[in-house]
A and B are shown apart, each in its own frame.
Chain A
């Protein structure tokens, strides 16, 4: 059967391609292929370059970590000597020193101790990237409740409470010991900066975010901080309070931030002076390829 009346387009006579059309098409095709090839080459080139940058960065990062670890270790040594000689001075030259001399030595020892703490925290921080555990799916309710058990009893001993409202209870791919350490640090902070004469109330909550991640909120009823200091609190050795008033070297939140960032997450905080603080930790459900 040839084109019949039941074929609605039999009347349209379609000419084959003209030679000119074919040539034009072939020319366009050559241009297109050349452009695609160039694009591919450029992409390969920039990929190679990126890989090299990444490797350089990894190496220099590694060097920095090694340096930090060695430095914080080696710097402890002279400090131990300073303490030893201070003790020697106190025992052997008791008479000559007198009460003023004694006090000076104690203050010297206090300063040395603070220095030792700073170095301890610094090496703990640099170890974070070295002492890692494999990321594995973990029940966050369990990870958190195990990690904060100690702080919970402390809070209760002070007449306060630590409540876990991990509902829904997500299973996330994490380095569980580090994530636990991070939550412990956050609640310990909440307890440390409690209001005098007010029982500490700490709450940890979880919720799913609109973009499919998980947000954990750690809220306390402590002294809080002014939000203008927000960018300072996560920096190393930053302390909003004069040393002596609160214990610590100012590394806690820095470590927390590093742990969260190593999980591809984010940590922020909200507070106002005198009204407690809330820390928000957002973590993805699954880890993208591991970072150094």
Chain B
């Protein structure tokens, strides 16, 4: 069973992502904060994490990415970071933290699906 973890404090975003990516043989998990994302990653070992950079709470998306990518048992989990802001420093920080791919909000369902497939199959960007 393939597992995808969606991390966003906005429940609506998580649900839209889940509906878009739903497929046989795949489970979509939810986390609403960076802290929860780390806990669920350690617990569930997802194949892919789609995570918002900006989230309330003490751990944002970039920090959660850094944590997950540093740990031996979770470093192979693919991570796509989401951001609503076109801010080059985000991308730089995210890449340094080890994110596999980036995605700009708002996005269309088709774009999301393609991005997920490419990341899962190790083709970071078209």
Contact = CB atoms under 8 A, between A and B. Distances in A.
Which size class do A's interface residues fall under?
A: 10 to 19
Which size class do B's interface residues fall under?
A: 20 to 34
B53 A21 contact: no
A21 B106 contact: yes
Contacts of B125: none
Contacts, number: 49
B56 A2 contact: yes
Interface stretch (A8-16, A52-60, A190-198, A209-217): A8-16
A32 B109 contact: yes
B54 A4 contact: no
Contacts of A14: 10, 52, 54, 84
Contacts of A288: none
Interface stretch (A22-30, A81-89, A96-104, A126-134): A22-30
A95 interface: no
B16 A22 contact: yes
Contacts of B62: 8-9
Given A4-B58, A9-B60, 19 more contacts: A3-B56, A3-B57, A7-B60, A9-B54, A9-B62, A12-B54, A12-B85, A14-B10, A14-B52, A17-B10, A22-B12, A25-B109, A26-B16, A28-B109, A29-B19, A29-B20, A29-B109, A32-B108, A32-B109
19 contacts: A3-B57, A3-B58, A7-B60, A8-B62, A8-B93, A9-B53, A9-B60, A9-B62, A12-B85, A14-B54, A16-B10, A17-B12, A17-B106, A22-B12, A25-B106, A25-B108, A25-B109, A29-B19, A29-B109
